[in-house]
Each structure stands twice: as structure tokens, then as C-alpha cells.
Structure 1
Amino acid sequence: MKGFGHPTLILLFLLFFALLPYLPLGIWRAFLLDVGFFVLLFTALALSWDLVARTGQLSLAHGAFFGLGAYGAGLLAPQVGTLPALCLGALAAGAGALVLGWVTLRLHGLYFAMASLAFSEVLRTLALKLPFTGGPIGLPVLPPFGGNWPLAAYYLGFSVLLLATALSLWAERSPFRLAQAATRQSEAVARVLGVQVVRVKLWSLFLGSVVAGLAGGVYGMKTLFLSPYDAFSLARAVEALVIPIFGGLYTTLGPLLGGVALVSLEQALRLWIQEGYLVVYGAILILVILFLPRGLVGVLGRRRG
């Protein structure tokens, strides 16, 4: 997979989304910028999930990290402002990941997946019951920077994607990649080679959770409202999982391509087909998983060959 780094494609991807608000989008401007925002946010979430998956762990807790960051930023923004609230929300997600990791990272495969799913359900239940979260009624959230800059949420989402991309590239090109790969292939062999397996998995989970928490915080400031059913939704974890599989696992380019393709496809099907669009969306996903096991980066690799 290392050969599929394609730094130029990654740079062009980031440059396009940095300049998107200034392109002549015509009457579709508002819609396309909204689609672009969700591409940025959910691609960052997918990169954060892929960072954890490189250790061989199937995490279903990214919905929990997303929700922790969203509620943390939403509750703190009136007191401390936009950027400190986002950072504190991300740290809350990171703290949740450390707790989850300390308890469960000695588990493997489906056992860890089930534990991470239970963690998400516990947090959603707490958000429904605690009075300061707004309970089932939900929590109003202030717009970023008091709503004084219309593009604030968009560029905050872009900043989260930049961070996620930088972390993914670091993990892909640094010696940490070898530790993650050894852990994924065989924990017993990795330990013999001197890899501190639990520390590698815990560090990967923490970094991924911080990015997911930032994404959740920006999401709340964009939508201006949070509910436990949305913020802690299992759909967040599933989307974070599906995008890297669609684009190509254990790469930086794969989730970037998968995020653009899947989020844009979902919005287009929602617009064109409306009712029943999820059937077509699901069928496309199944076909890609069956016939493109290495995702979109596999297609690019064959064309280059």
C-alpha cells in the first residue's frame, strides 16, 4: 500500500477543498458547500478510524468519540469560546478513548468491537439521562465565532481534515507504521520483536479519538443542535468504517477518495431518488466490497501498473 501514497493527489485534493468556496458554483453554491463540508468532516472521521484499524482493532466507538467531542464543545462554547471549546471537547473524547483502551485493549477482534459498541451505548444513555445535556430534547449549540463568519464551520472542518491527513501521513511514513503493522499481523510476534503492543494500540486509539472529537465539535457548531440519537449514532461509526474500506484500508489516499465518492454519492442519490435511495447506496457498497477488495486505491494501482 505504501506505493499508493500519491502525495500530489493528496495535495490537489486539499487544495481543491481549500478553494471550493471561491469557485463559481452558481445557484448550487449553498448546496455544494454543504456537501463539501460533510465530505471534509466524514473523511476526517474515516481517517481517524483507519488510524485505529492499522493496529488490527475493529472500533465501533467512533460514534462515542464523535458525540463526546460534539457535546463537550457545545456545552463549553458559551463559556470559553469556539476554539478552546473544540480543543476541550477533543480532549474529552481522548480521555474517553484512554478509559476504553485501558479496560479493553487487551481484547481482540470481535470482542473489542463489541466492547467499543457497548461503550457507545453507555454514553448515549448517559446523554439521554443527564440534565445538563438537554436529555432527549437535545442541546442547542452556538455557531462558531458567534456567527460572524459564514464560512467558519467550513474552514474548521477543513482544519480537522488537515490534522487527520497529517496524522495519517505521519503514521504511514514513520517507524510507527512498522509497529502498527506488526501489531496487526500478530501481536505475539510483535511482542517478541520488542513492540509494546498495548501502548501502540492505545496511542492509535487516542489520536483517532481526538480527531473524531474535533469532527463532532465542528458538526455541532454547523448543525446548531445536538441530540443523543444523532451525536452518538452507530451510523457515525459505520460511516467511519465503510469509507476507508471503499477507498482503501491502511492508506491516507484511500479514505480521502472514499470520503469524496461516498458522501457525494449519498447526497446525489438523496436528491435524485429521494425515497429508497439507501437501497441503491447499499447495493453499490456491496458491489464495491465484492469486486474491489482493495478499494479505489487498488484500481489506481492497477492503472499505474
Structure 2
Amino acid sequence: MRGVVLFLLVFVLLPFLPLGVWRAYLLDAGVFLLLYTALALSWDLVARTGQLSLAHGAFFGLGAYGVGLLEPHVGTLPALLSGSLLAGLSALLLGSVTLRLHGLYFAIASLAFSEVLRTLALKLPFTGGPIGLPVPPAFGGAPLAPYYLAFAVLAVAVGLSLWAEHSPFRLAQAACRQSEPVARVLGVRVVRVKLLSLLLGSLVAGLAGGVYAMKALFINPYEAFSLGRAVEALVIPIFGGLYTTLGPLLGGVVLVGLEQVLRLWIQEGYLVVYGAILILAILFLPRGLLGLWRRRRG
């Protein structure tokens, strides 16, 4: 818990630190770090039930398009909330149809859901089609608005994750993850637990997508509904430590920070080095950074 509080404290104070000539770059990178970490926490909420979701890129994209379409008419915060609710409604629709599936079957169904949404965004005229959609900046272009909106999204994700980690809901999620038949015998309503987890994760992912759109100022279906976004959402918790709040926070800082450093130093081809580091981490850190830290403390 102290590590989570320290993490949030560092990022809430970052704009006030003497960052010198790196200030603009670090604050821009900080926005994406906060958003991707929030997305990772939202994925981890679903993974705690044993489900492998590849739909978080779709929830992210729905939040982004919801903001892009609504912000010019209703303003920043109503558009953000509407985009998040749109992602939540899509999660309820997806979950009601697919959450009786297990393992890879659910993963394939969630991936198909993402591809369907991307195809719709490409074909529907009001989304801008393959050309994309311009998005107004948050609060009329206030300089630090995207940063603090991203921080607020992460704070929501952390709050939901801590609640799930320290409430009786954690036991229901763990029972679903270990054995659904046993969980049913114990009185756990498995589908309801998985559906609630998917709903909470989708709401956070939708918020993250909305803030991302207002930061990027432009979205298109290939970027908004990218499979890479869903993969990044699952890689960060695996690298940091699954089924915890601190693990995805650590993973987000290290992986997103590492990507930015490699992009500056190596430029072309940095993804090769980044991928090699991920492979080595998965091979030699099966429980992530948090597992390594706990083992050394023990």
C-alpha cells in the first residue's frame, strides 16, 4: 500500500519538479505512462477471474471515439463519462454472450469483438472512416489538463484495484480463477463475478481511451482499436506482477519508461531490443518484478 501511495505522490508532484529542458518531454511521456498503466490495471481486474481478455483495445477505442464525437457538443467531462459508459455497455453486451466461455475461447471471442468494432469504425461515415477524426483538446487546450486527467484515470483504476484486492470480492475472483465448478459449489455466482470484473475494467479502459484522444488530438480506427494496445495491456501486468495493484504500476513505469529511452537512444529498431527484453523477463521473472522483490525480501 505504501508503494502505491508513493507512486501516486511522485506523479501528482511531477509537474512542480525542476525538470529543466526535459520538462515538456517528460510531462508528455508521463501522460502516456499514466494512461497505459491505468489500462494495464483495468486488464488485471479481468485477469483475476482467470479470463484472458483481448477486448481492452476495443474498450479503449470506444472511449476515444466517444470523446471525439461528443466533446465538441457537450464538453470535456461529459464526453469522457459518455465514452466510458459506451465502453461499459459494450462490455456488458460482450460478457453476456461470451463469459460462459473459458480460456482461449473467450480470448478469441474478445479478439473478434475488437475486429468487428474496428471494421465498423472504418465503414461508418460519422467516424471519419479510415481517414480518422479530429479531437478537440481537453478544456479548450489548458496546458496540464491531459496530464491531470490521465492521473485521475489512474487514480480511479488504482482505487478499483485496491477495492478488489482487499475486499471479499477478491476471494470470489480467486475462486473463479482456480476452479469454476468448485466456486459454484461454494456459492459464488461465477458469471456475475466475471461480468462485474469486465465491466469495471472496461469503464477504466474507456476513460483512458478518451484522455488519449484528447491528448493525441486525432484518432483513426487502426490506432484506436489496435491489437497492440490490448497486448500492451496484458504485458505490463505480467511484467510487473499479476493480480496485484503495485505490480502493474511497477510494470508500467519500467516498460513505458524503457520504451521511451530506447526510442531516444536507438530510434529505428528499438522495438527489437524492447521485445528481447520482454522475452528475457518472461523467461526469468515468471512472477514479475513484484515477485522478484518479494523473493529477495523473503
Fold match by TM threshold 0.5: yes
2:116 paired with 1:113: no
Q: TM (normalized to structure 2)?
A: 0.99
Q: 1:189 aligns with which of 174, 179, 182?
A: 182
Q: 1 CA distance for matches of 2:36 and 2:245?
A: 14
- The structural deviation recorded for 1:91 is 0.2
Q: Which 4+ residue blocks in structure 1 deviate beyond 3 angstroms? A: none
Q: Partner residue of 1:56?
A: 50
2:288 paired with 1:302: no
Q: 1:279 aligns with which of 254, 272, 280?
A: 272
Identical amino acids, percent of aligned pairs: 81
CA deviation profile, 1:5-30 (whole Å, cap 9, x unmatched): xx111111000000101101111111
Q: 2:70 aligns with which of 64, 67, 76?
A: 76
SS at 1:123 equivalent: helix
Q: Name the amino acid aligned to 1:235.
A: G
Q: 2 CA distance for matches of 1:70 and 1:23?
A: 30
Q: Name the amino acid aligned to 2:267.
A: Q
SS at 2:114 equivalent: helix
- The structural deviation recorded for 1:302 is 1.6
Q: Partner residue of 1:263?
A: 256
Counterparts of 1:117-136 in structure 2 under 5 Å?
117-136=111-130
2:171 paired with 1:171: no
**Which stretches in structure 1 are left out of the alignment for 5+ residues?**
1-6
CA deviation profile, 1:47-77 (whole Å, cap 9, x unmatched): 0000000000000000000000000111111
Q: 1:240 aligns with which of 233, 249, 259?
A: 233
Q: Partner residue of 1:207?
A: 200
2:223 paired with 1:230: yes
- The structural deviation recorded for 1:94 is 0.2
Q: Name the amino acid aligned to 2:204.
A: V
Q: Partner residue of 1:46?
A: 40
- The structural deviation recorded for 1:37 is 0.9
SS at 1:55 equivalent: coil
**Which stretches in structure 2 are left out of the alignment for 5+ residues?**
none
- The structural deviation recorded for 1:138 is 0.4
2:12 paired with 1:18: yes
- The structural deviation recorded for 1:303 is 2.2
CA deviation profile, 1:132-172 (whole Å, cap 9, x unmatched): 0000010000000111x200000000000000000000000
